[in-house]
Structure 1
Amino acid sequence: MASDDELKRALKAFKKRLKLTRLDDESGLSRGGGRKSGITGITPPPGHPSGVWEELVARGKLRRDMGGTYALVEGA
């Protein structure tokens, strides 16, 4: 079981990586101008054990997507 502080750090790292992944996708030259990214889920950032991500799923902060990716739960 992960501490609350560890869960908070992991969720913050996840949100930051998701944001950067979306920005990278939106900035592609082939996409044209101003289109939103369709990326909803990512592979969790390294540096945190897999149990942390499962705990965040259990708490309703993340949801499991296909292919070993996780997505942010809206409004959580």
Structure 2
Amino acid sequence: MNVLRGLESEATPEEEEDLPDVPGETLREAMKAFRKRLKLMRLDHESKLGRSPLTSGKDAQFDSILPPDQYPAEVWKVLARKGQLESTGRGFYKLPSQDQTF
């Protein structure tokens, strides 16, 4: 309430940590692995094969996933800082939303 009244200032976000330099080839491979995992998870979720013969496949309702663990967390943070991924918290990432303006 005090922030709304102007009595206190908002808490400043923590300073951004310094991330290591990651080679461009590693970033490309990590993005390729992320897209592949996202695609496979969607296909698995939408598949009509699986748990019950009475259920049908439904559209995937998720938009963020845990990235592949074959790359360290710093790689995903670098990709998020560069805008190629969006962090949704707790280690989950998603592809950035594309605003379609004509």
Name the TM tier (shorter chain): 0.7 to 0.9
The answer to whether the aligner puts 1:10 opposite 2:30 as a matched pair is yes
Q: Among the aligned pairs, what percent are the same residue?
A: 40
Residue of structure 1 in register with 2:8 after alignment:
none
| Unaligned 5+ runs, structure 1 | none
Structure 1 distance, partners of 2:69, 2:57, is: 30
Structure 2 distance, partners of 1:67, 1:55, is: 16
Give the TM-score of the pair, scaled to structure 1.
0.84
More helix by percentage: 1
Q: Could you report, residue by residue, the CA deviation over 1:3-49 in whole angstroms, capped at 9, with x for unpaired residues? A: 11000000000000000001111115669546321120111101111
Residue of structure 2 in register with 1:38 after alignment:
61
Give the TM-score of the pair, scaled to structure 2.
0.65
The answer to whether the aligner puts 1:49 opposite 2:72 as a matched pair is yes
| Unaligned 5+ runs, structure 2 | 1-20
The answer to whether the aligner puts 1:72 opposite 2:95 as a matched pair is yes
* Structure with bigger gyration radius: 2
Q: 3-state DSSP class of the match of 2:90?
A: helix
Letter in 2 for 1:35: K
What is the count of residue pairs matched by the alignment? 75
Letter in 2 for 1:66: G
Structure 2 distance, partners of 1:49, 1:67, is: 15
Structure 2 distance, partners of 1:29, 1:22, is: 16
